[in-house]
Structure 1
């Protein structure tokens, strides 16, 4: 038996010590009431002494639960248990022979209770259990037998027979209780093993997603950026069509990757929302401008209807709102071959409602409840004809629920579908809502000195091709150590920093640049293929100005750099004035 079992028995006996002493006081008082005399007081004193000895002997297990007792100490524990039980149950012998019929009944009740108690609370250690049970059983069976022999009344042996039946039933009950306890312990251990296994699997999944996201984004940065650069050159019609196909395919691949990452975050309960003012009509107009050309290419009209009562701005998570609307419009354009797509926006004073209706193929009634399930689409041929993982609607509904809203669908097969997004959002009131100030990037970046650190030669070449047309002066380095060296000797207007680089990574380089005197206040923009939330948090802790992920969006990159340079210039002016 393990030392832990001895410690468990010791803890039980320690917790129940006040109860045993109180019960002994009650038994002694009862014995004195039935048969007045000095012996009940002597018995109670002996009980206190043996219980004190028991407390001392078993204290070692409480002090060190992992201690492994040797054979001598096991014998000592067993002998102490026998002595304690013999003395404690001694009152039953006094009552049996001196208390008359009532005393004999009380004695049997005490012995039966003692057997039940030790059987339930000492079964973890067999030697202790046998020591306690044997002592109680000696009284329980011996008293009726001895009484029958002394009195010559052999009918009293029936009492011993009843006691034997009680003990047999008690053995069965204790065995079943022990089996149940063992089964529960095994189930608990299995649950803990399964939980640890799930935690390991979750960590492995997170590591896999981080690695695969980085490894996919790095080459996709070259593919998409090169395609965007190629589209700026002089191309004939067929070449332009090929480049458009390349860019569209890249966008699809990145959409799938982002869907998988978002779905993993939602499943893990790590999706965090932001709260910001969103100009409703401006955001809707942006989405309409994005999807209108694609709809027109399919021969479909895209119309936007905003009710007059819709407030100018609301407070919500603009990025997640746009993501949901993007998925709904993507599905509408994908499954509508002719007719129109209508985006209708309403407001009831507390909730913003956006209904995206199309005249497409519709959804069969028996599949309507499954379109929001993960990795499912309306029919098995959908993926083959239109592509996609089936995650878009699942993510959209989960996002809507996280934002406190709902996403539902109404559809008639062959006549189209309507997806209705309802979000509880407060209107922005009491202050003028101004559209975001747009910076003319080429003018803002002309003559700016930019330090860019990236260990991939292709990425450095792409940055050159994207930023030199804006008039930037680029200093390119291959790792964080070189970036730190360059930043310690020359002031820059902004710094672009990759994350995973040899010699010194981008996080460490950023922290050290922040400690320097030359570029300690220069805006650092993370430009990395590490796109998980954990990576964003690490960059935030390092004190970056912005966090951009690869593949590089040329417009976002130029706009972020222009804004960073403008902010840096304002800080220098303020410092000079101060």
Structure 2
């Protein structure tokens, strides 16, 4: 027996209080019509009193559902129940002896209904159930027996036998109802437990992904950045080839990491789309420049065909559009060893369609249905021969569906495949999306003073090698507390801030910078290996100018810092004018 069961019975009795009183008024009025005396009114007044007592006694369970009653309070609750039922069902005795044949029938129907009611609504707590059922059963069985003895009409005992049969059926029904209720409660408890486990597992997975992402991106930043820096030096042909291998391998590793993170976000329903203008031909040309050398290295031509009717500029999510095509071209180059890859783009007035066709190995007919499944590839040897996680096509189709479009495939084994992406887009005026270009002076970092906070020694060295050639003066610190100390004594043009650092993290340091001082308005650029959407949102709330992730893109880093310095100088000029 649990405290919650008492609370459940209390809640049921409280909800039905108005119904019980209204039913008592109806029964009293009916009894008065059959036998117009004062007793039905007296009975109704007694019902009101006992219902008030019931409300007071059971109120304690409603106020504190977790309260476990002691034996004395259980006895009080049972006594209250007995009193309420004895008075409420007392009208049956009056109708049996004073109402004639009609009154007897009415009395039996009322008593049967009362038994059914208390059996269904009080079976959660056995002492309360027994108290209510025993009182009703006393009337239900006792009245026919007393009547038979008093009148000598032993045929009335048949009524008592019928009442016993009714109560037998009622016991079976109540047991079944109780069993069903217990099963449903167990199922709800199991569902709640499973949901809690799933939420804990989901949170653990998110934490795991965040940690893994950070821990992988930090050394990858050193590998890829060092390879990019090395490529800028004087190298012979063999050395340059080795550096290219390093950079290509780093790109593959980052692609795999991003695939896993994107897949996790899609599965959790947390993938958010952006809406921005995209110059179609420029975006396609960029992808063509990226993949054409790799296709040519395989002896394959990459052909781009854009129909005349394709608008110059559309509104969509450029990053996700690029990601889908990147995956399609990656697969086409990977599985095509001769012939050509054709990217055909068309427009029907509302949707942009991109068909990527290749003359590669194709897909067996019995495997086409599986190529969009997570971690699936056309055959088990594909991963060994070509690498990959089997997530690219799955992510691409789900992204297409999230964007309101579709991704389909047609293929013949040995002849090649065609993947067709169709996305709804809005054509926009080209003039509305021409980016504002930085002037040569504004885009230069020469002479700028940059504060950079990063706890990793290798990362600080990489920042030095990447930024000092631009002519800026770099101040390096190891944590947020040191960044605050440096910012308190010198004016900077921009601040680079890592996220996870000892002593004080980057978010806290940024919030404190914004509170006042020499650099309260200085643009802060987050440069971190924490690349999840939750991390981006946290930085946005702290008030950063831009959010960059590791591994560092040297061009993007320089461009973002230049834009930040321009924004800072513009704000200073506006403040001076004001």
Q: Which runs of 5+ in 1 are unaligned?
A: none
Counterpart in the other structure of 2:283: 283
Quote how far apart the aligned CAs of 1:268 are.
Answer: 1.0
Counterpart in the other structure of 1:457: 457
Counterpart in the other structure of 1:260: 260
Counterpart in the other structure of 2:245: 245
1:440, 1:337 → 2: CA distance? 44
SS class of match (2:444): helix
Counterpart in the other structure of 2:172: 172
Matched, 1:447 2:430: no
1:255, 1:166 → 2: CA distance? 73
Counterpart in the other structure of 2:81: 81
Query: Structure 1, residues 112-147: CA drift from partner, whole Å, max 9, x if none?
Result: 111101101111221111111111111111111111
Moved more, 254-263 or 433-442: 433-442
* 1:439–1:563 contact (8 Å) kept in structure 2: no
Counterpart in the other structure of 1:469: 469
Aligned pair in 2 of structure 1 residues 316, 135: CA closer, same or farther (>3 Å)?
same
Quote how far apart the aligned CAs of 1:234 are.
Answer: 2.2
* 1:410–1:417 contact (8 Å) kept in structure 2: yes
* 1:453–1:477 contact (8 Å) kept in structure 2: yes
Query: Structure 1, residues 245-291: CA drift from partner, whole Å, max 9, x if none?
Result: 11111111111001101111111111111111111111111111111
2:23, 2:149 → 1: CA distance? 31
Counterpart in the other structure of 2:43: 43
1:565, 1:47 → 2: CA distance? 83
Counterpart in the other structure of 2:128: 128
Counterpart in the other structure of 1:58: 58
Quote how far apart the aligned CAs of 1:533 are.
Answer: 0.8
1:158, 1:443 → 2: CA distance? 104
1:33, 1:570 → 2: CA distance? 92
* 1:312–1:433 contact (8 Å) kept in structure 2: no
Quote how far apart the aligned CAs of 1:443 are.
Answer: 6.8
Quote how far apart the aligned CAs of 1:537 are.
Answer: 0.9
Counterpart in the other structure of 2:91: 91
Counterpart in the other structure of 1:9: 9
Quote how far apart the aligned CAs of 1:433 are.
Answer: 4.1
Aligned pair in 2 of structure 1 residues 501, 160: CA closer, same or farther (>3 Å)?
same
TM score, norm. by length of structure 2: 0.96
How many residues are matched?
578
2:137, 2:430 → 1: CA distance? 85
* 2:443–2:559 contact (8 Å) kept in structure 1: no
Quote how far apart the aligned CAs of 1:43 are.
Answer: 2.2
1:79, 1:562 → 2: CA distance? 83
Counterpart in the other structure of 1:190: 190
* 1:411–1:417 contact (8 Å) kept in structure 2: yes
1:456, 1:264 → 2: CA distance? 28
Counterpart in the other structure of 1:118: 118
1:499, 1:25 → 2: CA distance? 71
Matched, 1:437 2:443: no
Quote how far apart the aligned CAs of 1:439 are.
Answer: 6.1
Moved more, 135-144 or 429-438: 429-438
Counterpart in the other structure of 1:104: 104
1:42, 1:575 → 2: CA distance? 86
Matched, 1:326 2:307: no
Quote how far apart the aligned CAs of 1:391 are.
Answer: 0.7
